Amino acid sequence: MIFHSLGKYILLLKAVFRRPEKWNIYRREIFKEMDSIGVGSLGIIAIISVFLGAVTTVQTAFQLVSDLIPKSVIGSIVRDSSILELSPTISAIVLAGKVGSSVASQIGTMRVTEQIDALEIMGINSPGYLILPKIIGAVTTIPLLVIISIGLSIAGGYLAGTASGATTSQDFITGLTTDFIPFTFTVSMVKAVIFAFIITSVSAYQGFYTDGGALEVGQSSTRAVVISCIMILFADYVIAQLLL
């Protein structure tokens, strides 16, 4: 069963990456998707990021009971956990809910109302036309969202740390700037790109093979979110294992 689905998923991806009929139409679609996926998700990513950083600071401070460890460590921990884990992974999980469900229900609705059949009849490669712009839109904008998320998360940590007196501004900034390993940022971007691909391709797959009516569209969209989340965490583990 899993192998059957995996095979279908790979065949769908093969169709997605067929040469587009007309680039300028695809380009327009890509910009549309970049706007809806990227710009459309800015607000929610900004809000969760600030809180992620704030919570990390407060909880790290709580766990730092020993006087032997300098308070500046808080800054380093917030920085590294935001870059490596919190910003890419939590953002991806949130985006799986927001973007994944909308991709699956949009494509699923087109399936059950025969709009995909109509594309096929015209001689259009429907997986390419419908899915490729979404994948490109996500893969280009989600890493940017993750960068913004990292910045805001650290800012949130700084604000929460200084406001609660858990750390001083001086300590926090010292922590931020010492022992930074640039490679962590690379890992973060690799994660962002792969998560973006997972969210859009898995959700598009669920939508594309919806069978039935409005009820099934809802089920596809739920399944898209659940499977995307699982795949994201699985990939997260694999990337960490391979790259770190």
Q: Which CB, 21 or 181, lies closer to other proteins?
A: 21
Residue 21 engages other proteins in binding (rule: CB under 8 A) = yes
Both structure tokens of 137: 């839109």
Shorter beta-carbon distance to other proteins: residue 82 or 109: 109
Looking at the Cβ atoms of 149 and 203, the one nearer to other proteins is 203
Q: Which amino acid is at 165?
A: G
Stretch that binds other proteins, among 3-11, 18-26, 159-167, 205-213 (CB under 8 A): 18-26
First to last CA, the chain: 33
Site string for other proteins, 24-63 (x = CB under 8 A): -x--------------------------------------
DSSP state of 48: H
Q: Identify residue 80 by its one-letter amino acid code.
A: D
Q: How far apart are CA 104 and CA 201, in angstroms?
A: 10
Q: According to the 3-state scheme, what is the secondary structure of 119-139? A: HHHCCCCHHHHHHHHHHHHHH
What distance in Å separates the CA atoms of residue 156 and residue 198, rounded to the nearest whole number?
28
Query: Does position 22 bind other proteins by CB under 8 A?
Result: yes
Quote the least distance from Cβ 115 to other proteins, whole Å: 5
CB 27 → other proteins: shortest distance, Å?
A: 12
Size of site (CB under 8 A) for other proteins: 15
Q: Which is nearer to other proteins, 82 or 126 (CB)?
A: 126
182 lies in the site for other proteins, by CB under 8 A: no
Of the CA atoms within 13 Å of residue 94, those in its CB half-sphere come to 23
Least distance CB 212 / other proteins (angstroms): 13
d(CA 55, CA 187): 23
Q: Which of residues 88-127 bind other proteins (CB under 8 A)?
A: 109-110, 113-115, 117-118, 120-124
How far is Cα 170 from Cα 106, in angstroms, rounded to an integer?
49
Q: Which amino acid is at 219?
A: Q
| Residue 181 is a binding residue for other proteins (CB under 8 A) | no
d(CA 23, CA 90): 34
Q: Which CB, 123 or 165, lies closer to other proteins? A: 123
- List residues binding other proteins (CB under 8 A): 21-22, 25, 109-110, 113-115, 117-118, 120-124
